[in-house]
Amino acid sequence: MTDYESPADRRLDRRIPLGSRARILLDGGDVIDAECVELSVSGMTLRADFVPGQSEIIEVEVVPPATGLERPPLVVRLEVRRCHMVAQRVYEIGGAIVKILD
């Protein structure tokens, strides 16, 4: 898999490491389990057994870390900017948040 953007275009915002559970919600109702590795105000990095298309818009739900406070998941539309294999059948997906959903 090819890295879709140059290093100079990445990491313009500070990213916070998370390691939270996430789900990729596909059209048609399919759900892909994922991990949200990093989150920033403008984007996120996921790891999953899924290869999206370049510039594909996917819906992602991120479960907040357990802090003792009940919080709803963060649900966003993410534009895929990069995707590459990090292990067998595990892909790192980086993207820009284009919309926060209620």
| CATH number for position 24 | 2.40.10.220
- Indicate the number of domains in the chain: 1
Q: Is the pTM of this model over 0.75?
A: yes
For the chain of 102 residues, list the mean pLDDT of each consecutive stretch of 10.
48 69 95 96 96 96 83 95 96 97 86
Residue 1 placed within a domain? no
- Rounded to whole angstroms, the Cα distance separating 46 from 35 reads 5
Residue 37 placed within a domain? yes
Residue 2 placed within a domain? no
Q: What are residue 36's phi and psi, to 5 degrees?
A: -90, 110
